[in-house]
């Protein structure tokens, strides 16, 4: 099997959970002796990281209408043919539209679509054609994501072709001291609350800005660290300033080493409206931090409520404040939940388990 060529196709410029998954799995398979290539966007973080790993990478830019471009179709056809690709793993709908038919016509033995978004797939003709004729397997990153795939059309694809494989974290040597590059001024017994993610509507960081106002009114000593970049960053910073809590809210920018960030905080909060798989929750738990997230989407598949953290009602300020107040006053509880979270991650969400599941799908 290891003489077969596996191609990871992901053309986005952004860096998110799907791109991290592609990077981690491609790199791990490469290290295990598989023949791995990738097709990425030349301006992407994924492209840079895969090149550093020694994987052969081709660059191409894909838009939603690229399937109509004969030159891009020809280039992809040539790459797949020259590399003799046997298994293709795709992450984006736009990529799927152009690559899947080419792969089927070109003799690629298996096309796998990795679905990382818990949003129902539209029941339109183009999707029925794609899923019915060109996709051999689907990897869903949670049971919630699996359910949404067939939400609008239970006949879109045979449900037995959908395999749930959780994202996996790469274990680090916990004896290695973190660099603690996240700089902030902790005052006395402040509790440090953290969030990391793209500043987009889905991630709902605006909730955290308003939460900061309420925490201050409740006389809870805290600072809020927001890590990441995104189109809403300036709007959120302006909101914090207008509400006079910009001294409590710190925008750290993009964090290269998430462990440094997690080691800088006491509690991690994820207020997203939905998550295919909240990988950042796993990262926080692995760093032994109690987590708080809304009781929706895939969050209950990650968090063991009242043991590794808390699941709360969406946008419920009072409940979140109560949980923060409880954790801020009880260091032993924070430690206990952190230990339980770390144990859960090592049982369910480590990269070797994920790679083993992916290997079973390869041709």
Domain ranges of the chain: 5-165, 191-348
Question: What is the Cβ-side half-sphere exposure of residue 252, based on CA atoms within 13 angstroms?
Answer: 28
Which DSSP string corresponds to 315-361? T-HHHHHHHHHHHHH-HHHHHHHHHHHHHHHHHH-BHHHHHHHHHTT
Same fold, 5-165 and 191-348: yes
What is the CATH code for 5-165?
A: 3.40.50.2000
- The encoded tokens of residue 81 equal 């043919």
The dihedrals phi and psi of 293, each to the nearest 5 degrees, come to: -150, 165
pTM (predicted TM-score)? 0.85
Which DSSP string corresponds to 142-209? SHHHHHHHTSS-TTSS-GGGEEE----B----TTSPP---------TTPEEEEEES--SGGG-HHHHH
Decide if 36 contacts 57 (C-beta within 8 A).
no
Cβ count near 54 (within 10 Å): 11
Find the helix or strand (DSSP H, E) in which 100 lies.
Answer: helix 93-105
What is the CATH code for 191-348?
A: 3.40.50.2000
CA angle (197 as vertex; 11, 171 as ends), nearest 5? 85
- Per-residue confidence in pLDDT tens, the chain, 363 aa: 567 899 999 999 988 889 999 999 999 999 999 999 999 999 999 999 999 999 999 999 999 999 999 999 999 999 999 999 999 999 999 999 999 999 999 999 999 999 998 899 999 999 999 999 999 999 999 999 999 999 999 999 999 999 999 999 988 755 555 555 666 778 888 999 999 999 999 999 999 999 999 999 999 999 999 999 999 999 999 999 999 999 999 999 988 888 889 999 999 999 999 998 999 999 999 999 999 999 999 999 999 999 999 999 999 999 999 999 999 999 999 999 999 999 999 999 999 999 999 999 997
């Amino acid at each position: 099997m290891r003489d077969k060529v596996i191609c990871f196709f992901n053309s986005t410029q952004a860096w998110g959970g799907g791109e991290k998954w592609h990077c981690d799995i491609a790199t791990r398979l490469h290290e295990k002796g598989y023949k791995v290539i990738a097709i990425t966007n030349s301006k992407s973080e994924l492209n840079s990281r895969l090149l550093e790993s020694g994987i052969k990478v081709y660059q191409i830019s894909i838009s939603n209408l690229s399937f109509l471009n004969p030159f891009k179709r020809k280039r992809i056809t040539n790459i797949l043919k020259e590399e003799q690709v046997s298994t293709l793993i795709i992450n984006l709908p736009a990529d799927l539209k152009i690559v899947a038919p080419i792969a089927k016509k070109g003799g690629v033995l298996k096309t796998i679509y990795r679905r990382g978004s818990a949003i129902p797939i539209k029941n339109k003709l183009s999707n029925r054609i794609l899923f019915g004729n060109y996709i051999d397997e689907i990897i869903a990153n949670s049971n919630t994501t699996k359910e949404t795939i067939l939400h609008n059309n239970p006949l879109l694809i045979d449900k037995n072709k959908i395999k749930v494989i959780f994202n996996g974290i790469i274990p680090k040597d916990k004896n290695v001291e973190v660099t603690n590059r996240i700089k902030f001024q902790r005052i006395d017994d402040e509790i440090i609350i953290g969030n990391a993610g793209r500043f987009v509507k889905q991630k709902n960081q605006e909730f955290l800005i308003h939460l900061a106002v309420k925490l201050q009114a409740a006389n809870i000593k805290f600072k809020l660290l927001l890590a990441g970049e995104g189109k809403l960053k300036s709007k959120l910073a302006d909101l914090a300033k207008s509400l006079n809590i910009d001294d409590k809210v710190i925008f750290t920018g993009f964090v290269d080493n998430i462990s440094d960030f997690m080691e800088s905080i006491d509690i991690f909060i994820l207020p997203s409206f939905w998550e295919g798989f909240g990988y950042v929750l796993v990262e926080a738990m692995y760093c032994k931090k109690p987590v708080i997230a809304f009781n929706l989407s895939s969050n209950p598949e990650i968090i063991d409520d009242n043991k590794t953290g808390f699941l709360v009602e969406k946008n419920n300020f009072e409940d979140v404040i109560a949980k923060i107040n409880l954790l801020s006053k009880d260091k032993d509880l924070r430690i206990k939940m952190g230990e339980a979270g770390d144990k859960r991650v090592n049982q369910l969400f480590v990269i070797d388990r994920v790679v083993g599941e992916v290997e079973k799908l390869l041709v």
